A and B are shown apart, each in its own frame.
Chain A
Amino acid sequence: MIAAALVLAALGAWQLVVEAGWVDPLILPGPIAVAESLWEDRALLADDLRVTAGEVALGLAAAVAAGVALAVAMHLSRTVRRALRPLVIGSQAVPVPVIAPLVVLVLGFGLAPKVLLVALVCFFPVTINLLDGLSDADPDARKLLRSLDAGRWRTLWLLEAPSALPAALTGVKVAAAVAVIGAVFAEWAGADAGLGHALLTANGQLETARAFAATVLLFVLAIVAYGLCALLERRLVPWAARTDHTGA
């Protein structure tokens, strides 16, 4: 509720600044103009939203798949861990805007480069959180399973995986919130649809209100993606119910 009040207050101040004529509405359109554009271009923007949402969903799914595979491999094998850790960390030093055009060059203008770039941004928090979670299993419970002669895979399945689930889902939530960034950069590097694409063309045409409308939708997309992951977390780890962080 406080978030809504905060947004309303900011919107009110913004509208006042624009009405007072302190800024050129071509550079900073007021929230009402943005809302109008949101409504007038709804058909166009809805298509773009659908495209970007698809990229985010697929990229996130790919990131989770890759993150789980990487984390489990790194957890089970010290050699793999040593070999991959610097690469995993290094992957986050690569500026997405720099490699996005290269990825587009190699993979073309289709869906593939978008999914890859979203996944590149998203797999890191998933991998690292899951990896930490897997090794953080309760030592007493570990001892118990050892006394029961549970093997490596049984221990992973019965103890480590479930106890890592809350941490992994935190990673997924972080990933969901930043996934949108990957999608926008990928679209900027070459696309004919999507909110990033809409943002770029609207800017080019000095349709600032539409650019802002696209940004609002990106904002909403990130929040919805995060919210869905938080919902998933509640379904999957009811035993670790957090004190209420999820209320809007």
Chain B
Amino acid sequence: MRIETEAPVEEPRHISEAGAVVLEDVARAFGPVRALERVTLRVAAGEIVAVVGPSGCGKSTLLELVCGLQRPDAGRVVAPPAALMPQRDGLLPWLSALDNAGLALRAAGASRAAARAAAHQHFAAFGLEGFERARPRALSGGMRQRVAFLRTLLAGRPVLCLDEPFGALDALTRVQMQQWLATALAREPRTVLLVTHDVEEAVLLADRVVLLSARPGRVVATLPVDLPRPRARGDHAVVALRERALALLGGEVDA
């Protein structure tokens, strides 16, 4: 099943290249607040695209459009089924780490036992072994993020929409988690749309970086990141790209 949201009139279904996420001239406003304006964006299957922009530039709206949680006011959104990892981890406080990780499966109708079994297979690889029964409150920020990412992965959808996955973490944990995510995605390749306000994070993780303007969000530039992995933040090329992105965003990022 593909989620296709079109506005304002239903057109015949456009199937783009298999597995790709396509936004064409997408606009979305909330009352008088224009969140996105004429945004055109394409994420090929298997590609990791980071969307960077100042806070309030409609980045989260972009992801919700791709996930089918909102409809565009104008333009076209075509996307395969996508799983959302919301800004705050979205873990349910009454569920154990194991049950939170398996939430997507239970939402799809699986039994508790089946969801737990499926989630548990990944716990060791996610560095969560021994914390199966811990509630979110007892987990560190990095662990919560890993549980949330596992939940997103277990939704079993070809596209992952990650909304500032590490925004709430302290600087040190964030660096560790960025490395961890790069490894995890190398192991389980997916089409990824990563929203962040951290230019460096975008350059480290993505194949392409899309720069959005301040509200209403428009695409300012798209930077390909043709660098071998693993990348380190000290690499000359990484630093150069980061500076270029920052320069392009100009006054847009309040960094």
Contacts and interface: CB of A to CB of B under 8 A. Distances in A.
A147 B92 contact: no
Contacts of A162: 92, 94-95
B68 to A, nearest CB: 8
Interface string A142-162: 011111111000100011001
Interface residues of A, number: 19
B88 A147 contact: no
Interface stretch (B104-112, B211-219, B225-233, B236-244): B104-112
B193 to A, nearest CB: 13
Contacts of B87: 140
A240 B93 contact: yes
Contact of A148 (B92, B93, B94, B107): B107
B86 interface: yes
Contacts of B104: 148
A140 B88 contact: yes
A22 interface: no
Query: Would you call the interface of chain A mostly helix, strand, loop, or mixed?
Result: helix
B135 interface: yes
Contacts of A148: 83, 103-104, 107-108, 155
Contacts of A154: 106-107, 109
Given A147-B67, A158-B107, A239-B137, A140 B94 contact: no
A80 interface: no
B84 interface: yes
Contacts, number: 53
A83 to B, nearest CB: 31
A162 B106 CA distance: 15
A147 B65 CA distance: 11
B90 interface: yes
Contacts of A158: 92, 103, 106-107
Contacts of B83: 147-148
Contact of A159 (B64, B92, B137): B92
A112 B162 CA distance: 57
Interface in B42-72: 64, 67-69
Nearest to A161: B94
B7 to A, nearest CB: 19
Interface string B103-144: 110111100000000000000000000000001010000000
Given A143-B69, A143-B86, A149 B92 contact: no
Interface centre among B64, B107, B135, B155 (most CB of A within 10 A): B107
A145 B107 contact: yes
Interface centre among B90, B95, B155 (most CB of A within 10 A): B90
A16 interface: no
A219 to B, nearest CB: 35
A158 to B, nearest CB: 6
B242 to A, nearest CB: 30
Nearest to B90: A144
A92 B157 CA distance: 50
A237 interface: yes
Given A141-B90, A158-B103, A149 B108 contact: yes
Contacts of B88: 140
B106 to A, nearest CB: 6
Interface of B: 64, 67-69, 82-84, 86-88, 90, 92-95, 103-104, 106-109, 135, 137, 155
Q: Which 4 A-B pairs have the closest CB atoms?
A: A150-B107, A148-B107, A147-B84, A239-B94
21 contacts: A140-B87, A141-B90, A143-B64, A145-B107, A146-B69, A147-B68, A147-B69, A147-B83, A148-B104, A148-B107, A148-B108, A150-B108, A154-B106, A154-B107, A158-B107, A162-B92, A163-B92, A163-B94, A165-B94, A239-B93, A240-B94
Given A148-B155, A163-B92, 13 more contacts: A140-B87, A140-B90, A143-B84, A144-B90, A147-B68, A147-B69, A149-B108, A150-B107, A154-B107, A158-B92, A158-B107, A239-B93, A240-B93
